[in-house]
Amino acid sequence: MRTNLVITVCFSLAFACSVHAQFSRITLQGLQIPGPDCLNFNEWFPITCPVGTHELWLADAINWRTERRIRIGYSGARYEMPSLKWIQSSFIQPQMMIEDRYFYDPEKHQYTVDRYLDDLEKRYGGIDAVLLWPTYPNMGIDNRNQHDMIRSLPGGIPGVKQMIAAFHRRGVRVLFPMMMWDQGTRDPGMPWPEAIAQLMEEIGADGINGDTQDGVPLSFIQASEKIDHPLVFEPEIGVAYDEADAYNLMSWGQMYVKPFPPVPLIDRSKWLEPRHMVHITDRWSKNKTDHLQFAFFNGCGFESWENIWGIWNDITLHDGEMLRRMSAMERTLAPFLISQDWEPFFPMSNPGVFSSRWPLGDKTIWTIVNRNEYNITGYQMELPFQEGMRYYDLYHGSELTPVKNGNKVILSFELELKGFGCVLAVKAAPDSSILSLMARMKGLTALPLASFSNESKILTQRILPIERTKPSPKVPLGMIKIPAGEFNFKVHGIEIEGANAIGVDVQYPWEDFPRQYHQHIMSLKSFWIDKYPVTNAQFKIFLDATNYHPVDDLNFLRDWKNGSYPEGCANKPVTWVSLDDARAYAFWAGKRLPDEWEWQYAAQGIDGRLYPWGNSWNEKAVPIPDKSRTMRGPDPVDAHPDGASPLGVMDLVGNVWQWTNEFTDEHTRAATLRGGSYYQPQGSIWYFPHAYRLDEHGKYLLMAPCKDRSGCIGFRCVQDAE
């Protein structure tokens, strides 16, 4: 789920893999199919296409689909599997960061699934499935692989199983990601297809999202079926090769044709197999109106992704109301939206209005979008006259009065600007589900969409204050005094994604919103700072003196055995301690954790140097990087005297990351980490990046102590001097 580089590569693959049908004029645009040429104007809509255009285009599109199915030996058998049919009505699916504060309460140490789902129900009508995301951007901070990150969730595997069961009780299916780029962390000890299938079966998950993939290979599907726990696989970048549509039952629909064209495009996978579930997505877009219209036109779903790696990009009130209305209709009308006789671009009467026709037995619905920037009232569509046929405006929840015109009937109704329409044709009275939908839609559409704000909300962050200590009356053992002074605190985050958009990185108290680049002149009081990071031996003294044991103890001092550190590790920095564990130690010692600017001031001094020792990298000042998959452990804290800062503070860079400040907003908690570590997993650009320079920090998303602890994060303390 990454960057334009991956998208560009897969976009090119889509063209390469899409061999045109021998007698078809269909030409793909990425992973989408355009409608009749006469509709595809860039700036305006034609009033009508020549007579017969639609019929010719539809026949050509059907011919393309038929030939593609023959060429690939297509079988839709997996779509018939009872255990997987849920995908055909799974329209709304967010990607949810497990660090989202609506999902887990770290103070009560419990998952809050109901709170999370209730919020989405309130804001946009709820969800059908959820993609839980426990990996990137934190993965690679140590050698825990993608499955170790799941095992590190609160409660371990038993807790994860109970959490998934809570989603299932609310009728929500659960997916996890798989990162085939994860080849530098711990080896799973078996082929990834088997490892994924076994873990998903153990925790009771329903599916897998193939991160950065343009089609999940068949071996993964077969591995899940082999152990009788078939999973639904959903590649992120669509399905770029036709054959994979037979076993990739879901996909993301990323619209590569931008800006959105006035005329909707048809998703290629949905056209090839109407039972395929597509979730239209564009994570960074502020306005989702176009995405929702394209989804409704295609009878497919939407990826309601708001928490993007801890950066909040909300669904606005307007788009939330659109989503609520669309999902209400699609969930009720799901049996229609898998019709093999789907007819896109059914002719409408007004330019800029587009519809898809979905027949089901003796009933038919039309999903309609008005792409115009104005309302349209009155004559909308013309249909062949059928004796006894009744028509319903499902969007507004009312019956229509057809006007007979020769062997045709004219239907008139209202379409909101950039809004939806939905018509049902049926001879018998509507069934109870349709009547219930009409009653609900009548209430939902009482207010026009235009009355809801489309303004995006920026979440402001709060930095958790660090309580000052009592000044030490004498020189504290093992600490160095940092004099008071003016300091130009200049630092930036090293997030891989988000560029310099508002909301990326963190927000300091003097800033009005989160941003990636920061600079502030500060008057700092004098303080003492540990010469070295806290060692295993020092932490053992704390444990023996206090009998400290965290409530959430999963991964606590994970590398220790029988209550003590490994032999030969006394003088190495303590790791596998959470932010709370570090605070507990500091409080016992009469100290505190440093504010980030204090850490940087102690490391940098006032000359703005890039490293504690100067402006050029010195490999002798830091541990030798560990690029293996096993993670050897950090060096002793005094092993690299060349790494000293101007005032003699040691082991600041390249051994272990060090905890500093915590930031929080309504949905996310994060800590700024300083110094980087010795561990450098190889093989991917998506692993947690290093911040070795003193004008860089890492933003580490926080969930719970068990998940936050790492074999490459330690800490040092400070004490106020005045």
Q: Domain 462-720's class?
A: alpha beta
**Per-residue pLDDT at 39 exceeds 90:** no
Instruction: Look at phi and psi of residue 542 and say left if phi exceeds 0, alpha if psi is from -120 to 50, else beta.
Output: alpha
Bridge-based pairing state of the strands 232-235 and 250-254: unpaired
**6, pLDDT greater than 80:** no
CA atoms of 528 and 475, how far apart (whole Å): 8
* Residues whose CB is less than 8 angstroms from the CB of residue 122 and which lie 6 or more positions away in sequence, other chains included: none
Distance CA(158)–CA(193), nearest Å, equals 22
User: Are the C-beta atoms of 624 and 640 separated by less than 8 Å?
Assistant: no
8 A C-beta contact, residue 651 and residue 637: yes
Q: Which of 238, 264, 281, 254 is nearest to 17 (CA)?
A: 238
> Using an 8 Å Cβ cutoff, are 600 and 489 in contact?
yes
What tens digit of pLDDT does each residue of 58-72 get? 999 999 999 999 999
* Cis peptide bond upstream of 430, omega within 30: no
pLDDT digits (tens, 9 = 90+) for 558-569: 999 999 999 999
pLDDT band at 46 (very low <50, low <70, confident <90, very high): low
Q: If residue 197 lies in a helix (H) or strand (E), which one and from where to where?
A: helix 192-203
DSSP secondary structure string for all residues of 37-76: GGG--SS---S-PPTTHHHHHHHHHHHHHHHHHHHHT---
Which two three-digit tokens encode residue 87? 């995908």
Token representation of residue 652: 């600041």
* pLDDT score at 500: 85
Give the per-residue pLDDT at 102. 98
Q: What are phi and psi of 462, to 5 degrees?
A: -120, 130
Tell me how many degrees the CA angle 13-15-19 measures, rounded to the nearest 5.
Answer: 115
Query: Encoding tokens for residue 203?
Result: 């925790």
State the alpha helices, DSSP H only, in 511-613: 536-546, 579-588, 596-604
Going by the DSSP 8-state scheme, the letter that residue 429 receives in this structure is P
Whether 17 shows a pLDDT value over 50: the answer reads no
By the 10 Å C-beta count (0-12 exposed, 13-18 middle, 19+ buried), 382 is classed as middle
Burial of 488: CB neighbours in 10 Å, binned 0-12, 13-18, 19+ = middle
Residue 524 contacts by C-beta under 8 Å, 6 or more apart in sequence?
Answer: 482, 484, 485, 486, 487, 597, 598, 601
pLDDT digits (tens, 9 = 90+) for 640-687: 999 999 999 999 999 999 999 999 999 999 999 999 999 999 999 999
The rounded distance, in Å, linking the Cα atoms of 333 and 314 is 27
CA angle 38, 39, 41 (to 5 degrees): 95
The pLDDT, as a whole number, for residue 41 is 59
Residue 644 to residue 106: CA distance in whole angstroms = 37
Q: Where do the domains of the chain lie? A: 71-334, 462-720
pLDDT, one tens digit per residue, over 425-437 is 999 889 999 999 9
Smallest CA-to-CA distance from 626 within 655, 661, 660 is with: 655
Position 627 scores a pLDDT of 97
The predicted structure's pLDDT at residue 170: 98
Tell me, what DSSP letter sits at residue 301? E
- Alpha-carbon distance of 249 to 87, in angstroms, equals 8
The pLDDT tens digits of the residues spanning 81-95 come to 999 999 999 999 999
Q: For 240-298, how does the pLDDT look when each residue is reduced to its tens digit (9 = 90+)?
A: 888 999 999 999 998 666 678 889 999 999 999 999 999 999 999 999 999 999 999 99
Which pLDDT value is given to residue 13?
A: 39
What is the 8-class DSSP label of residue 35? Answer: -
DSSP class of residue 374 equals S
pLDDT for 495 beyond 60: yes
What distance in Å separates the CA atoms of residue 429 and residue 421, rounded to the nearest whole number?
Answer: 20
Among the listed residues 313, 244, 239, the one whose alpha carbon sits nearest the alpha carbon of residue 282: 313
Cα angle, residue 462 at apex, residues 459 and 467 outer, rounded to 5° = 175
**Given this model, what pLDDT does residue 646 score?**
96
Q: 3-state class of 156 per DSSP?
A: helix
Select 71-334's CATH number: 3.40.50.1370, 3.20.20.80, 3.40.50.620, 3.40.1440.60: 3.20.20.80
The encoded tokens of residue 405 equal 């015109």
8 A C-beta contact, residue 681 and residue 328: no
Report the pLDDT value the prediction gives residue 12, as an integer from 0 to 100.
Answer: 40
What percent of the chain has a predicted confidence (pLDDT) above 90? 89
Q: What is the pLDDT of residue 485?
A: 96
Asked if 27 and 320 count as a contact pair (C-beta separation under 8 A), the reply is: no
The pLDDT score that the predictor gives to residue 14 is 40
What's the confidence (pLDDT) of residue 5?
42
- Do the beta carbons of residue 453 and residue 318 sit within 8 Å? yes
3-state secondary structure of 170: coil
CA 559 to chain centroid: 31
Give the CA diameter of the chain: 102
The two tokens of residue 54 are: 């639609």
Please calculate the CA angle 132-559-178 and round it to the nearest 5 degrees: 25
Q: Report whether 236 contacts 210 (CB < 8 A).
A: yes
pLDDT per position as a tens digit, 396-425: 999 999 999 999 999 999 999 999 999 999
Give the CA count within 13 Å in the CB-facing half-sphere of 408. Answer: 7
**Can you give the pLDDT at residue 498?**
87
Closest by CA to 472, choosing from 462, 482, 464, 463, is: 482
Q: Which residues are CB-contacts of 141 (< 8 A; sequence separation ≥ 6)?
A: 657, 677, 688, 700, 710, 712, 713
pLDDT-wise least confident of 144-153, 392-401, 465-474, 611-620? 465-474
Give the pLDDT confidence score for residue 22 in this predicted structure. 58
Task: In whole angstroms, give the CA distance from residue 658 to residue 622.
Answer: 15
Cα–Cα distance measured from residue 327 to residue 321, given in angstroms and rounded to the nearest whole number: 10
Strands 311-312 and 307-308: antiparallel
238: left (phi over 0), alpha (psi -120 to 50) or beta: left
pLDDT band at 51 (very low <50, low <70, confident <90, very high): confident
Q: Which residues contact 509 (CB under 8 A, 6 or more apart)?
A: 463
CA distance 11 to 268: 13
Tell the burial category of 100 from Cβ atoms under 10 Å away from its Cβ (0-12, 13-18, 19+): buried
Tokens 């799974």 belong to which residue?
90
pLDDT at 30: 84
- Calculate the average pLDDT of the chain: 94
Please tell me the predicted confidence (pLDDT) of residue 211: 96
CB 424 within 8 A of CB 399: no
pLDDT band at 43 (very low <50, low <70, confident <90, very high): low
**Cβ atoms of residues 222 and 269 within 8 Å:** no
Query: Residue type at 425?
Result: A
pLDDT tops 60 at residue 16 = no
| Model pLDDT, residue 19 | 43
Nearest-angstrom CA–CA distance, 424 and 413? 13
pLDDT at 18: 42
Question: Do residues 384 and 357 lie in contact, with contact meaning Cβ atoms separated by under 8 Å?
Answer: no
Mean per-residue pLDDT, 45-67: 85
Model confidence at 106, pLDDT cuts 50, 70, 90, reads: very high
